Homo-oligomer: A and B are copies of this chain.
Amino acid sequence: MRVRIVVTALAFAGLAAAQSTRRQASLVVIGGTVITENARHDILSPGAIAISGTDIVDIDRPEVIAGRYRASETIDARDQIVLPGLINTHTHAPMVMYRGLADDLSLMKWLQEYIFPAEAKTVSPEMVRIGTRLAALEMIESGTTTYADMYYFEEEIARAERFITAFKGDSLIVPAVAPHAMYTNDEATLKAAAALARRHDVPLIIHLAETEDEVKTSREQHRTTPASYLESIGFWGPKTLAAHGVWVSDDEIQILKQRGVGVSHNPESNMKLASGTAPVTKYLAAGVALGLGTDGAASNNDLDMFEAMRQASFLAKHAMHDPTVVPAATALDLATIGGARALGMEKAIGSLEPGKRADLITVSMRAPRQTPLYDPISHIVYVTRGDDVRTTIVNGKVLMRNRQIRTLDRTAVIAAANQLAPRVRDAVKH
A327 interface residue (CB < 8 Å to B)? yes
A271 interface residue (CB < 8 Å to B)? yes
Contact present for A317 and B100 (CB under 8 Å): no
Contact present for B138 and A302 (CB under 8 Å): no
- A375 to chain B: closest residue by CB: B100
> Which residues of A39-77 have CB atoms within 8 Å of chain B's CB atoms?
none
CB-CB nearest 10 A-B residue pairs: A372-B421, A104-B327, A100-B378, A271-B314, A301-B382, A138-B368, A274-B323, A302-B369, A271-B318, A274-B317
Contact present for B304 and A369 (CB under 8 Å): yes
- A212 to chain B: closest residue by CB: B321
* Smallest beta-carbon distance A315→chain B, Å: 7
Contact present for B99 and A372 (CB under 8 Å): yes
Residues of B contacting A151 in the complex (Cβ-Cβ under 8 angstroms): none
A184 interface residue (CB < 8 Å to B)? no
Indicate which residue in B97, B326, B371 contacts A134 across the interface (CB closer than 8 Å): B371
Q: How far is the CA of A134 from the CA of B373 in the complex (A)?
A: 13
A115 interface residue (CB < 8 Å to B)? no
Residues of B contacting A313 in the complex (Cβ-Cβ under 8 angstroms): 104, 272
> Which residues of A303-334 have CB atoms within 8 Å of chain B's CB atoms?
303-304, 311, 313-315, 317-318, 320-324, 326-328
Number of residues in A with C-beta < 8 Å to the partner?
A: 69
- A140 to chain B: closest residue by CB: B368
Query: This chain: how many copies in the complex?
Result: 2
Residues of B contacting A96 in the complex (Cβ-Cβ under 8 angstroms): 371
- A373 to chain B: closest residue by CB: B100
A11 interface residue (CB < 8 Å to B)? no
Indicate which residue in B137, B328, B414 contacts A366 across the interface (CB closer than 8 Å): B414
A149 interface residue (CB < 8 Å to B)? no
Contact present for B106 and A323 (CB under 8 Å): yes
Contact present for A372 and B424 (CB under 8 Å): yes
Known contacts: A100-B383, A103-B328, A271-B318. The answer to whether A372 contacts B301 by CB under 8 A is: no
Residue interface mask A132-159, B partner, CB < 8 A = 1: 0010011001100000000000000000
Contact present for A417 and B371 (CB under 8 Å): yes
Q: How far is the CA of A105 from the CA of B317 in the complex (A)?
A: 10
- A425 to chain B: closest residue by CB: B374
Contact present for A323 and B105 (CB under 8 Å): yes
A418 interface residue (CB < 8 Å to B)? yes
A277 interface residue (CB < 8 Å to B)? yes
* Smallest beta-carbon distance A244→chain B, Å: 14
Indicate which residue in B137, B274, B303, B317 contacts A322 across the interface (CB closer than 8 Å): B274
- A416 to chain B: closest residue by CB: B371
* Smallest beta-carbon distance A188→chain B, Å: 33
Q: How far is the CA of A314 from the CA of B274 in the complex (A)?
A: 8
A386 interface residue (CB < 8 Å to B)? yes
Q: List 28 A-B contacts (CB under 8 A).
A: A97-B372, A99-B371, A100-B378, A104-B317, A104-B328, A106-B323, A110-B323, A134-B368, A137-B368, A138-B367, A268-B314, A271-B314, A271-B318, A272-B323, A274-B318, A274-B320, A277-B318, A297-B369, A301-B378, A304-B369, A311-B314, A315-B318, A369-B386, A372-B417, A373-B421, A374-B421, A374-B425, A385-B385
Residue interface mask A273-285, B partner, CB < 8 A = 1: 1101100000000
Residues of B contacting A181 in the complex (Cβ-Cβ under 8 angstroms): none
A107 interface residue (CB < 8 Å to B)? yes
Indicate which residue in B103, B372, B413 contacts A418 across the interface (CB closer than 8 Å): B372
Contact present for B425 and A100 (CB under 8 Å): no
Q: How far is the CA of A418 from the CA of B97 in the complex (A)?
A: 42
Q: How far is the CA of A276 from the CA of B318 in the complex (A)?
A: 7
Residue interface mask A10-48, B partner, CB < 8 A = 1: 000000000000000000000000000000000000000
